Chains A and B, each alone.
Chain A
Amino acid sequence: MSAQHPLQFVPAAEFKQRSVDATSDAHLRQSFRGAMDFLMAKRAAQFPDDASLQRQRAIAEAIRQYSLARLPDLLEQLERNLTAKGVQVHWAENAEEANAIIVGIAQRHSAKLMVKGKSMVSEETELNHAMEAAGIAALESDMGEYIVQLDGEKPSHIIMPAIHKTKQQIARLFAEKVPGVSYTESVDELIGIGRAVLREKFMHADIGLSGVNFAVAETGTLCLVENEGNGRMCTTVPDVHVAITGIEKVVEKLEHVPPLYGLLTRSATGQAITTYFNMIGGPRKGGADGKGAELDGPKEVHLVLLDNGRTQAYADEQMRATLQCIRCGACMNHCPVYTRIGGHAYGTTYPGPIGEIISPHMMGLAATHALPTASSLCGACGEVCPVKIPIPDLLIRLRGEATHEARPGHAPLVGQGAARSALMDAVWAGWAALYTRPALYRAFGWLATRFRFLTPPTQSGWTVSRTPLKPAARTLREQLAERRRKTH
């Protein structure tokens, strides 16, 4: 893996160039189009009855809003109940703190190898780099994650990390990077190669790391959704299991999980249910006097609860909805922009529509202000979101926050006003001056039509792929006036 991680810090200006490069990459365009079409069709097949889907969405939204409304209490309840079951709970305000906690746990155990189940939060903290810096190997065991790690990349999709790669690219990568492997395009053989490597590592790993899909406060249960069984291996085979999650993933009751789980898998991969659903309730029990001691499972379980900007979103009544997300990825699957540019162009851990509204809280608006503008506001994301996050409204809100000072009574966001430009302020002030003065606007229309021959041949971004916009010979209002003159 490269020592310099190219995607760690992403100045906003680079998003635009990357998106331009991506749209002109025919191969990338074709592969994302095909993959997203496949995922959209799979999801649609799971929701044949729209009325039923809308009922389920309303329930899921209510559960997430209910949970968020009680978040501080639920987190404390979760900590109490997990602690009682022997789980050590850690709080991390940012990525560095989270990584330091996990490196510390590893060092206490003199760990040399960590195996990882799929965890986007650990991607968010770039944990692998922190582990590497501490001299501890961290190996991804989800097949997609394993592939992108082998190639020194980040995931391009939160559910399907290697979706940008073709079978041939993976075949070449394995032949090149996995010792003793020759080139094969057989998917079964490729999976077999990965499995053989990983099985060996599971046996010898000192620590297993996983994410969390739902943390149940009332029972102190960590729920983990997965298909490959690697999550179960990571959380049961090594002596130490560390789970990491964002603070928003908590729900109050066990009965809150099934409605969310059912929508998560259907929305994400079009599965009615995943192959594995793990409910983790703590380390193996010792038993009094060594009697009745459990013989398997980790001896130590830790949970790291990460903030990393989430409380900024939480503090705002409207932007709190961002935290309703259950990370299904449906918004990216249905996003016409994501489909055109792929996940890497965003330069963030979470790409696509959800990434556009959550990354500003994690990374600040100075680095991310271009992201909320990369949307036609078509609404496809909001339409499919299983927990009804009003993504287009939040994009508009962040566009405003990026170009303005904080509103009265609102705390400034990190990077508040980072995209503020005197030129754009003047453009919009001029626009408002014109459109609030009907007489001036009519004069403008009169002039624009009379001098339409002066229409500039290049019009900012418009004419890159379009002919110039040219006013009509006469405005509608003039044509109507003309018609009135003729008939009277």
Chain B
Amino acid sequence: MHREITRDPRPKDVYFFATCLVDLFCPEAGMDAIELLEREGIAVHFPENQTCCGQPAYTSGYADEARAVAQVQMALFPEDWPIVVPSGSCAGMMRHHYHKLFADDASLKAKADALAERVFELSEFLLEVLAVQWKESSTGRRPTTVALHTSCSARREMGTHVHARALLDSLPGVTVVTQSHESECCGFGGTFSLKHPAISGAMAGDKADALKESGAETFLSADCGCLLNINHTLQKRKDAFQGKHLATFLRERTEPAGTGDEA
């Protein structure tokens, strides 16, 4: 799950795979993620032909449809640059499941495996590859308390829950509280939330309760699927408590060390 990452040489260029949810429903999270990378001096390339990693069809048992969509994405990254994904779930699909999806085709499987090596979840890339050094931005000085909800893919497939947490722990003025049943799923599960609304809704409701009861001012997640699930559950209750993408929070609270008044 956790892999050895070499930081040398520091990449100058990266591909950004936004994911379909970020593109259509949470574009601000994508913009913030891109800014976090660019302010480290990295050229961020957004392949215009990207659509979706293929996960919805894959997890629904429609492997042919998932393969067709995945193949389109696999053709988008000709240069040997890292591919940064602002989602543990979609990154997990590309890093771990393309291998299974193309198991029956040696050449596509080899391509999928080569691609998997270059796929990084955003917080993992920031911490492991870029080893970011940040200081508080002017808006980042107000002390705050946050809870972190890690997606199941980020936790169990990518092992990137540690990266998101480490990034937050490095921020002065930010207290991270742990909600009860922290590692339990929020109930999104893609098409699961449509097929089994009662079960999924019960899980989302319990997650929303746990996050609220944590006493955090807001909650963060590095996955838009979880955010949409929990936020829209809270909205239905007419609750103003809302979560935001980790990238947005990090962009708001920090700036690179060596800029601004201390430069």
- Which residues of A line the B interface, CB within 8 A? 16, 19-20, 23-24, 29, 336-337, 340-341, 373-380, 382-383, 393, 396-404, 428-429, 431-432, 434-436, 438, 441-442, 445, 448-449, 460-472, 474-477, 479-480, 483
Contact = CB atoms under 8 A, between A and B. Distances in A.
Given A373-B196, A376-B188, 10 more contacts: A376-B189, A377-B59, A428-B60, A431-B57, A431-B69, A438-B48, A445-B24, A462-B194, A469-B228, A477-B23
Contacts of A470: 25
A392 to B, nearest CB: 9
A contacts with B: majority SS: helix
Contact of A432 (B27, B28, B68, B156): B68
A336 B184 contact: yes
Contacts, number: 184
A379 B156 contact: yes
B25 A467 contact: no
Contacts of A402: 61
B94 interface: no
Nearest to B62: A428
A465 B198 CA distance: 8
B43 interface: no
A376 B203 contact: yes
Contact of B72 (A379, A438, A465): A438
A127 B192 CA distance: 35
A465 B69 contact: no
Contacts of A23: 198-199, 201-202
A374 B152 CA distance: 16
A461 B195 contact: yes
A436 B69 contact: yes
A465 B62 contact: no
Contact of A436 (B23, B68, B156): B68
Contact of A336 (B26, B61, B72, B187): B187
Contacts of B46: 477, 480
B27 A475 contact: yes
A401 B68 contact: no
Contacts of A404: 61
Given A428-B57, A435-B52, A438-B72, A374 B198 contact: no
Contact of A340 (B68, B156, B203, B232): B203
Contact of B156 (A378, A428, A461): A378
B contacts with A: majority SS: helix
B69 A435 contact: yes
A468 to B, nearest CB: 8
Contacts of B201: 23, 464-466
Interface string B61-84: 111110011011000000000000
Contacts of B23: 445, 475-477
Contact of B26 (A374, A441, A465, A472): A472
Contact of A376 (B52, B57, B187, B233): B187
Interface of B: 18, 20, 22-28, 30-31, 34, 46, 48-52, 54, 56-65, 68-69, 71-72, 100, 152-153, 155-157, 183-185, 187-190, 192-205, 228-229, 232-233, 235-236
A333 B197 CA distance: 21
Contacts of A428: 57, 60, 62, 65
A429 B68 CA distance: 10
Contact of B152 (A377, A429, A448, A474): A377
Contacts of A434: 51
A317 B6 CA distance: 36
Most chain A beta-carbon neighbours within 10 Å: one of B27, B59, B201: B27
B61 A377 contact: no
A400 B194 contact: no
Nearest to B60: A399
A336 B203 CA distance: 7
A434 B54 CA distance: 11
B237 to A, nearest CB: 9
Given A379-B152, A379-B156, A431 B65 contact: yes
Contacts of B30: 476, 479
Contacts of B50: 438
B100 A393 contact: yes
A144 B20 CA distance: 49
Contacts of A436: 51, 68-69, 71-72
A462 B196 contact: no
20 contacts: A16-B196, A20-B198, A336-B185, A337-B196, A374-B192, A375-B189, A376-B189, A376-B200, A377-B189, A377-B192, A380-B152, A380-B184, A396-B59, A398-B61, A435-B52, A461-B195, A465-B197, A465-B236, A466-B236, A475-B23
